[in-house]
Amino acid sequence: MNNNNYNTIIIGGGAAGFFTAINLAEQSQNHKIAILERGKDVLQKVRISGGGRCNVTHAQFEPKPLSRNYPRGEKELLGPFHSFMTGDTISWFEERGVELKIEEDGRMFPISNSSQTIIDCFISLARKHKIDILTSQNVASIEKTDHWKLKTKTDTFTSNNLVVAAGSSPKV
Ligand X SMILES: Cc1cc2nc3c(=O)[nH]c(=O)nc-3n(C[C@H](O)[C@H](O)[C@H](O)COP(=O)(O)OP(=O)(O)OC[C@H]3O[C@@H](n4cnc5c(N)ncnc54)[C@H](O)[C@@H]3O)c2cc1C
- Which residues would be at the binding site for ligand X (CB under 6 A)? 11-17, 36-39, 44-45, 48-50, 54-55, 137-139, 165-167, 169, 171-172
| Cβ–Cβ < 8 Å for 46, 69 | no
User: C-beta of 110: minimal distance to ligand X in Å?
Assistant: 11
Which residue lies nearest ligand X, judged by its C-beta?
14
Whole-angstrom distance between the N-terminal and C-terminal Cα of the chain? 26
User: C-beta of 148: minimal distance to ligand X in Å?
Assistant: 13
| Cβ–Cβ < 8 Å for 56, 45 | no
If the CB atoms of residues 2 and 168 are measured against ligand X, the closer one turns out to be 168
If the CB atoms of residues 36 and 125 are measured against ligand X, the closer one turns out to be 36
What phi and psi values does residue 84 have, to the nearest 5 degrees?
A: -145, 110
Residue 151 to residue 138: CA distance in whole angstroms? 8
If the CB atoms of residues 144 and 171 are measured against ligand X, the closer one turns out to be 171
